Structure 1
Amino acid sequence: MRLRLVRQNTNFDFFSRWRLWLGLSALLIVVSFASFLLQGLNYGIDFRGGTTIRTESTEPVDVGTYRAALETLALGDVSISEVFDPTFGPDQNVAMIRIQAQEGEEAVTATLIEEVGVALQAVDPGLKLPFASVESVGPKVSGELIQTAAIAVVLAIAAVLIYIWLRFEWQFAVGAVVALVHDVILTIGIFSELQIKFDLAIIAALLTIVGYSLNDTVVVFDRVRENLIKYKSKDLNEVLNISINETLSRTFMTSATTLLALIALFVLGGDVIRGFVFAMIWGVIVGTYSSIFVASAILLWLGVKRDWSKPTDTTGNQFGNIDA
């Protein structure tokens, strides 16, 4: 017996309340904007500036012990991770410590670096001082990183718009892009609302979410395009319902297996990747939702020109019989 999360031949009506789903999404987008404007994001060191310290020790690194030792210094946002660096040889015990820029200072001062060394050496007598390297990122560079990250997300969504427009009709492209913007805004919104640290890893998660959501949407739209030709006499909402029901099993199996891996990483992966994994979990959920209830609802709202004077073996591409 094969495991099925969704039974075969489902016949759910996804569009009996499609205005309600769009209204709910619009409300969540407004809440996300309001949260972002009122309290902003909890930017990490990548975007606020700070100092990166690499330590070397003759004893194994205990990240938890290091973190507890630095908490007494009240340094704010501190990230600690054990790293592999080939420049330190095979028997290495190297850690990377990232400390946010202190208020009123361009970077962590030399005096504070010394205090960090003393605190760490108290819990790790094998720690070598001075530190192997100390590097600072100023506020100006951090501001440039924010701009570059925003441009990366916007360009990714623009590329998706062009791709879908070439592959399908423009109505499909608008539906797909609205769904992607919906996913990105809601992800930024929940990070703002919960004040979870927002750094470059989250930007990577946003770009991954765009790709994941697009994949889901294209699978549904491919089936819609096939069924528009197959069911010429049916209304568009009927064709959309048939198409989503036909791909529902695949959609839920993909999302469920992805979530299993992500939840395991969230529970067992540690603090270093927890923000990234949380963004991915949220992105998979809202991406699956938007593929069904946002992208397709926008397509239903805009409508699709169905010109059946052309041969039925066309691919549905607006530029003619182009192999998709």
Structure 2
Amino acid sequence: MSEDDTKTTSAAETAGSGGEKTSVFQRLYTGTGAFDIVGHRKRWFVAFGLLILVCIGSLGVKGFNLGIEFEGGTQIQLPARGAAGPIDEDEASDVVSEASGVAASEAQVVGVGRSATIQVRTSTLDSGQVVDVKRALFDEFQPLAANGQPSGSVISDSAVSASWGGEISQQALVALAVFLVLVTVFLIIYFEKWMAVAAMLALLHDVVVTAGVYSLVGFEVTPATVIGLLTILGFSLYDTVVVFDKVKENTRGLLNLTRRTYAEAANLALNQTLMRSINTSVIALLPVLGLMVIGYILLGTGTLQDLALVQLTGMLAGVVSSVLLATPLLVTFKMREPKYREQAERVAERREERARAAQAEGEADGVDPDDYFDPGDDAQLESELRKEKAVAAAASVPARNQKARDRNRGRDQRPRRSGTPTGKSTAGKGSPTGKRKRS
């Protein structure tokens, strides 16, 4: 295969050739545009559309598995150790269900060691049912008090009102609305309206998918879940803003150029930040996994489990949407504008003209690598960026490296000395002010 053929090979074929220079991992780290994410945006739209439909359908049909804080109920608590040894939470749940005639909704161990307790939650019980449940638990397990003797006083009960969970949900919705309004205003000021719209749609996707996963799997929704849902919004938006900032940098002055379309420039920006998005997500998920392991497996705390679970689900949805949804949406919105469609047509016309000219000159393959730009080729990408900067400077377009241009401008404006410098060599050559050296 000739050198020109190698340069015009597609990014996918180049990445899969197996060579060290063209390996997938190297192109992932260097961000040369080997992955055509924007070019396949219709596939992503179909996939995300189906996912959202499934989540919305589950929310409408199945709904949420609301915790006791939202529905109200009674919570029975007793030590996790009895006269016969450790008490199993499932056995305690069965005893509560038999004594009260109401199925227990949840039973879990909270804490470790001597301070470990068992919490059993049911729907609201009257005073007679609570007395029967306490008596049945004491007769079955003989829970130990702090002095090591069985005691019925260590079995406690508490009533949870559904209004408390409703108040938390209302405050969370208010906080969410204020957050979305402020973020939208910021994105419009810092970027532009289409970037703000794309970021908000990606953020809405994260919320719907996270809620849909909870509905599909049947995870219990608690106030900790609502709080965790608010925390993932900032993470998802942060990753999207980083990608959009690179898109803004790559597309500066693009309408005056004919070497790359807006979709190609946006895809290059996405590839340049792809490895960063992956690294950020992995590092961010490690403490969440630690929170889940320590909070649930070691401490047995349901609140930490709920908080870690919603963050894990939301972060995964956020990184996927920031890579595969936000930027493709932005490109779709931008290409609806006539000026960007006309610029893309000029790029295509220029490449066709150069290809015909190269074929007319009798080149071996009839393809000029300067016209058929392969973002997966490192050498061609570097040459392309140099040419683009040169064309931008000739067209009076602001250069990408503003600091370097300012240094060059300052160097050109330095005052120069006038006249001829004086010295022995000049005086010896007969300058008017110098003296001739005697022989």
TM-score bracket for this pair, using the shorter chain length: 0.7 to 0.9
* 1:93 and 2:115 correspond: yes
* 1:276 and 2:307 correspond: yes
* 1:213 and 2:244 correspond: no
Deviates more, 1:168-177 or 1:230-239: 230-239
DSSP 3-state at the match of 1:6: helix
Are 1:209 and 1:280, in contact at CA under 8 Å, matched by a contact in 2?
yes
* 1:225 and 2:248 correspond: yes
Other-structure match for 1:65: 87
> 1:294 Cα deviation (Å)?
1.4
Map 1:224-243 to 2 at 5 A. Answer: 224-229=247-252, 231-232=254-255, 233=257, 234-243=260-269
DSSP 3-state at the match of 1:191: helix
Are 2:250 and 2:265, in contact at CA under 8 Å, matched by a contact in 1?
yes
Other-structure match for 1:78: 107
Are 2:89 and 2:118, in contact at CA under 8 Å, matched by a contact in 1?
no
1:254 pairs, out of 273, 280, 303, with 280
Are 1:153 and 1:206, in contact at CA under 8 Å, matched by a contact in 2?
no
Other-structure match for 1:290: 321
> 1:254 Cα deviation (Å)?
1.0
> 1:173 Cα deviation (Å)?
1.0
Distance 1:188 1:283 in 2: 9
Distance 1:302 1:148 in 2: 34
Map Cα deviations across residues 216-263 of structure 1 (whole Å, 9 max, x no partner).
001101111122216552322112111111111111111122334434
Structure 2: 5+ residue runs without aligned partners? 1-24, 98-103, 341-391, 401-439
Map 1:1-324 to 2 at 5 A. Answer: 6-11=28-33, 12-52=35-75, 65=87, 67-73=89-95, 74=97, 75-82=104-111, 93=115, 95=117, 97=119, 99-102=121-124, 105=125, 109-112=129-132, 114-115=134-135, 118=138, 122-124=142-144, 126=148, 129-131=152-154, 134-229=157-252, 231-232=254-255, 233=257, 234-267=260-293, 269-270=296-297, 272=302, 273-303=304-334, 312=398
Distance 1:248 1:300 in 2: 17
Identify if the C-alpha distance between structure 1 residues 243 and 197 changes in structure 2 by more than 3 Å, giving closer, same or farther.
same
Output the TM-score relative to the length of structure 2.
0.59
> 1:209 Cα deviation (Å)?
1.4
Map Cα deviations across residues 34-76 of structure 1 (whole Å, 9 max, x no partner).
11111111111221212345657999xx9x7352442223322
Map Cα deviations across residues 134-159 of structure 1 (whole Å, 9 max, x no partner).
43222344444443344443443333
1:274 counterpart letter in structure 2: Q
DSSP 3-state at the match of 2:229: helix
1:114 counterpart letter in structure 2: K
Distance 1:222 1:109 in 2: 61
Identify if the C-alpha distance between structure 1 residues 160 and 119 changes in structure 2 by more than 3 Å, giving closer, same or farther.
farther
1:258 counterpart letter in structure 2: A
Distance 1:255 1:129 in 2: 49
DSSP 3-state at the match of 1:10: coil
DSSP 3-state at the match of 2:36: coil
Deviates more, 1:122-131 or 1:292-301: 122-131
Are 2:79 and 2:143, in contact at CA under 8 Å, matched by a contact in 1?
no
Identify if the C-alpha distance between structure 1 residues 237 and 95 changes in structure 2 by more than 3 Å, giving closer, same or farther.
same
Identify if the C-alpha distance between structure 1 residues 247 and 202 changes in structure 2 by more than 3 Å, giving closer, same or farther.
same
> 1:214 Cα deviation (Å)?
0.7
Number of residue pairs aligned between Structure 1 and Structure 2: 300
Distance 1:224 1:183 in 2: 22
> 1:97 Cα deviation (Å)?
2.8
Identify if the C-alpha distance between structure 1 residues 149 and 106 changes in structure 2 by more than 3 Å, giving closer, same or farther.
farther
Distance 2:81 2:217 in 1: 39
Identify if the C-alpha distance between structure 1 residues 224 and 56 changes in structure 2 by more than 3 Å, giving closer, same or farther.
same
> 1:174 Cα deviation (Å)?
0.8
Identify if the C-alpha distance between structure 1 residues 58 and 40 changes in structure 2 by more than 3 Å, giving closer, same or farther.
closer
Structure number, greater radius of gyration: 2
Q: Percent identity?
A: 26
DSSP 3-state at the match of 2:142: helix
DSSP 3-state at the match of 2:119: strand
Identify if the C-alpha distance between structure 1 residues 133 and 165 changes in structure 2 by more than 3 Å, giving closer, same or farther.
farther
Are 2:28 and 2:271, in contact at CA under 8 Å, matched by a contact in 1?
no
| Higher normalized contact order (CA 8 Å, seq sep 6+, divided by chain length) | 1
Are 2:73 and 2:159, in contact at CA under 8 Å, matched by a contact in 1?
yes
CA-based RMSD of the aligned residues comes to 3.7
